[in-house]
Amino acid sequence: MGRFRDALAAPGLTAVAEVKRRSPSAGDLRPDADPAALAFSYERAGAAAASILVDARFAGSWDDLRAARAAASLPLLAKGFFSTENDLRTAREAGADAVLLLLRDLDDETARHLLGVASDLGLDTLVEAHDGDELGRASALDAPVIGINARDLSTFAIDRAAQLELVASAPRDRVVVAESGIESRAQGAAAELAGADAILVGSTLMRAPDPGAKLAELLSRPLVKVCGLTRPDDIAAAAEAGADMAGFILAEGSPRQAAGVLDVPETMLSVAVRVGEPGKEEADLLQLYPRKTGKVRGRNATLFRNGREVARVLDLPWGEDDPAHLERAQAATGRIMLAGGLGPDNVGAAVEAVRPWAVDAASSLESAPGVKDHERVRAFVAAAR
* Residues involved in catalysis: 18, 20, 79, 128, 149, 179-180
CA 136 vs CA 107, 133, 143, 149, 162: distances in Å: 13, 5, 10, 14, 15
Residue 27: strand pairing partners: 23
Q: Please give the Cα distance from 235 to 376 (Å, whole number).
A: 13
Determine the Cα–Cα distance for residues 338 and 334; give it in Å rounded to an integer. Answer: 12
- Residue 373 makes CB contacts below 8 A (sequence gap 6+) with 365, 366, 367
In sequence order, the β-bridge partners of residue 149 are 179
Spatial neighbors of 68 by CB under 8 A, at least 6 apart, are: 19, 35, 36, 38, 39, 50, 52, 76, 95
Nearest to 199 by CA among 235, 241, 160, 234: 160
Buried b (16+ CB within 10 A) or exposed e, 155-185: eeebbbeebbebbbebeeebbbbbbbbbbbb
- For residue 365, give the nearest of 263, 237, 222 by alpha carbon: 237
